[in-house]
Structure 1
Amino acid sequence: MTGQSLERLRTQRLGQLEELVLRQDLRAVLIHAQGGALGAATRSNAYLRLFADWDGFEASTSLLVERGRRTLILSNPFQLHAAQGIAGIDAVVFSAPSKLGEAVQGLLATSSGDALRIGQAGWPEAQWQTIESMHRALPRAQWEDIAPELDRWRIAKAAPEVEALSAAAALCDEVFSRFPAFLRHDREAWKTQRDVEHFALVSGAEYCKTWLTIGPAAQRPQYLPHENRRKPVPGDQVLLGVMLKLDGYWGHAIRMGAYVEALPVHLRLHGLVHEMFDEALALFGAGADLAGAEKAVQGILSRGLPHVPPGDIFRFRSGHGLGLSYEEPQSVAAFPQYADPFDTGRSAPLEASTGAMFELHPNFFAKGLGGAALGDMVHVTESGSVRLLRTPLDFQLWG
């Protein structure tokens, strides 16, 4: 039923988009989206998936919505047949990225001299040749950024979206349940990653990316084959992060443990990050300021590692919104990206809106000591917050 419910929701949103065209007296709206093959590196993909059950994967796609007509414009001609019959879409056409402006001009049946107001979303990720073609074909067009309006539509998840996100969480659970079978003493970590990702894909995920850190003292998330040549030995820390997409919606979780045997220091690090998670989760009530959750995480870390200089601790963001984007818009203000040297490192107010979905993953990696991270999907409801995964947050003993 989730697929049918999502189809009705997308069709309803297309109607809302046409209402926006009328309300703001726009000639049309043009949504430009990169393909989902970019994973967490694209945010424009979510704007398309908000309205259409389509993903060009390695190819960009544009959606042109006029009053009474919706056209999908593909940049890959080999996908034209596959895109037929998408609910709510009236026509599917092809245009090379360098000719998109001319294609839009033709669909709108306008001349290059006409002054038009056109809404747009996703342009920050468009190729330069695409932007250039727009200015060439429609030099007098006034482009209105409607992304902030669409972002507001995405904060509270509708019931079909919660179902889809719950299904993505369930697939993360399946991945963690199968992980012990893939983790072997004679297999390099990067091959174990590929086993995990392949399992997710053949189980229905349209995209899956992992990070896997194995070693005596984990120092950071490790994504790439050249940094994951190690084979596990007893006593190694093992941290697994899973990021996947199912029906366009992200599932994301992190678990940690050890290979064969647990060392006392690793158990202590796990206990510290578990406390950080529990304290933050307790502050995820509807209407709460999530800057308080970040403050709680920081306080526990400072008290737990008082003798470790801040410069010897690597961290990434403690949480972020989750939905059609890996990081939903208007969802990260409270959680600084510590891994970004240009981030201010300051937490700003952020309301936990009823219906919002978050990934909460407190973490730290202390130089020479080891690392710890736990992550789970959290749905904010009127009565509190709900953790979506069934896999326990306990220290895992694998192997």
Structure 2
Amino acid sequence: MTGQSLERLRTQRLGQLEELVLRQDLRAVLIHAQGGALGAATRSNAYLRLFADWDGFEASTTLLVERGRRTLILSNPFQLHAAQGIAGIDAVVFSAPSKLGEAVQGLLAISSGDALRIGQAGWPEAQWQTIESMHRALPRAQWEDIAPELDRWRIAKAAPEVEALGATAALCDEVFSRFPVFLRHDREAWKTQRDVEHFALVSGAEYCKTWLTISPAAQRPQYLPHENRRKPVPGDQVLLGVMLKLDGYWGHAIRMGAYVEALPVHLRLHGLVHEMFDEALALFGAGADLAGAEKAVQGILSRGLPHVPPGDIFRFRSGHGLGLSYEEPQSVAAFPQYADPFDTGRSAPLEASTGAMFELHPNFFAKGLGGAALGDMVHVTESGSVRLLRTPLDFQLWG
């Protein structure tokens, strides 16, 4: 029923978008989106998936909504047939990115000299040739950024979205269940990654990306083949992060353990990050300020590794919103991105709204000792937080 429920939700949102056109006295709304092949590197893809069950994957797509007409403009002519019959869409046409402005001008039946107001979302990710064509064809158009309005629609997840996100969590569980089959002493880690990602794809995921770190003392997440040539040996730390999509919605989780045998230091690191997760999760109540969750994580880490200099600890963000984007808008204020040298490193107030979905993944990598990370999907409800995955957060012995 998830597909039908999501279709009804998208149709409802298309109606809301037309109401926005009328309410703000816009000539139309234009939503430009990169394809989902970019994975977590695109946020514009999420704006399109709010309204249409379509992903151009390696090609960009533009949704043009007027009063009474919705047109999908594809940048790849070979996808035209596949896009026919999308619910709520009246027409599907092709335009090269360098001619998008002329295509929009023709569809709106306006002249290049017309002064009009057009709502837009997704422009920050548009190619320069696309932006140039819009300015060339519509030089007097006034572009109104409607992304903040759409972002507000995305904070609280509707029931079909919670169901869809639950399905992504279930697929993450399947991946973790299958992982021991792929992890072998005679197989390099990058090949194991490919096995995991292939399993997710043939199990229904439209996208899957992993990081897999196999090391005597893990120092960072490892994504790329050339940094994952190692074959596991007993006592190695093993950390697996999974990021996948179903029906446009993201699933994300991290588990940690060891190959064949657990060393005391690695069990200690796991106990520390598990405590960080539990303390932070307890603060994910509706209306809570999630800056408190980050503060709790930092406090436990500083007490747990008192003799490790801060410069010898690598961390990434402890959490973020999850939905049609890997990081949902307005969802990361409380969670600094420690891997970004330009981030302030300070936690700002962020309310845990009822119905919101988050990924919570406290983590640290201590020089010479090893690394630790645990991640799970968290749904904020009026009665508290709900963890979506069923795979335990316990230390895993794989192999």
TM-score, normalising length: structure 1? 1.00
**CA–CA separation in structure 1 for the residues paired with 2:101 and 2:376:** 42
CA-CA distance at 1:347 after TM superposition: 0.2
**CA–CA separation in structure 2 for the residues paired with 1:349 and 1:52:** 33
Match of 1:105 in 2: 105
Give the secondary-structure state (helix, strand or coil) at the position aligned to 2:134. Answer: helix
CA-CA distance at 1:281 after TM superposition: 0.0
CA-CA distance at 1:234 after TM superposition: 0.1
Name structure 1 gaps, 5 residues minimum. none
Give the secondary-structure state (helix, strand or coil) at the position aligned to 1:272. Answer: helix
CA-CA distance at 1:365 after TM superposition: 0.2
Q: Deviations over 1:23-82 (max 9, x none)?
A: 000000000000000000000000000000000000000000000000000000000000
Give the secondary-structure state (helix, strand or coil) at the position aligned to 2:211. Answer: strand
Match of 2:383 in 1: 383
Match of 1:265 in 2: 265
**CA–CA separation in structure 1 for the residues paired with 2:124 and 2:73:** 18
Match of 1:54 in 2: 54
**CA–CA separation in structure 2 for the residues paired with 1:73 and 1:368:** 53
How many residue pairs match? The answer is 399
CA-CA distance at 1:108 after TM superposition: 0.2
Q: Calculate the aligned-residue CA RMSD, in Å.
A: 0.2
Give the secondary-structure state (helix, strand or coil) at the position aligned to 2:139. Answer: coil
Percent identity between matched residues is 98
**CA–CA separation in structure 2 for the residues paired with 1:182 and 1:341:** 35
CA-CA distance at 1:339 after TM superposition: 0.2
Q: Deviations over 1:365-389 (max 9, x none)?
A: 0001100000000000000000000
**CA–CA separation in structure 1 for the residues paired with 2:115 and 2:46:** 29
**CA–CA separation in structure 2 for the residues paired with 1:213 and 1:36:** 25
**CA–CA separation in structure 1 for the residues paired with 2:333 and 2:19:** 30
Give the secondary-structure state (helix, strand or coil) at the position aligned to 1:80. Answer: helix
Match of 1:7 in 2: 7
Match of 1:359 in 2: 359
CA-CA distance at 1:9 after TM superposition: 0.1
Q: Deviations over 1:325-373 (max 9, x none)?
A: 0000000000000000000000000000000000000000000110000
**CA–CA separation in structure 2 for the residues paired with 1:388 and 1:172:** 10
CA-CA distance at 1:231 after TM superposition: 0.1
Where has structure 1 moved over 6 Å in runs of 4 or more? Answer: none
Q: Deviations over 1:133-173 (max 9, x none)?
A: 00000000000000000000000000000000000000000
TM-score, normalising length: structure 2? 1.00
Give the secondary-structure state (helix, strand or coil) at the position aligned to 1:252. Answer: strand
What are the equivalent positions in structure 2 for 1:66-105 lying under 5 Å apart? 66-105=66-105
**CA–CA separation in structure 2 for the residues paired with 1:217 and 1:237:** 6
Name structure 2 gaps, 5 residues minimum. none
**CA–CA separation in structure 1 for the residues paired with 2:24 and 2:355:** 27
**CA–CA separation in structure 2 for the residues paired with 1:164 and 1:248:** 9
CA-CA distance at 1:395 after TM superposition: 0.1
**CA–CA separation in structure 2 for the residues paired with 1:51 and 1:343:** 32
CA-CA distance at 1:18 after TM superposition: 0.2
**CA–CA separation in structure 1 for the residues paired with 2:287 and 2:171:** 29
Q: Deviations over 1:189-234 (max 9, x none)?
A: 0000000000000000000000000010000000000000000000
What are the equivalent positions in structure 2 for 1:38-187 lying under 5 Å apart? 38-187=38-187
CA-CA distance at 1:296 after TM superposition: 0.1
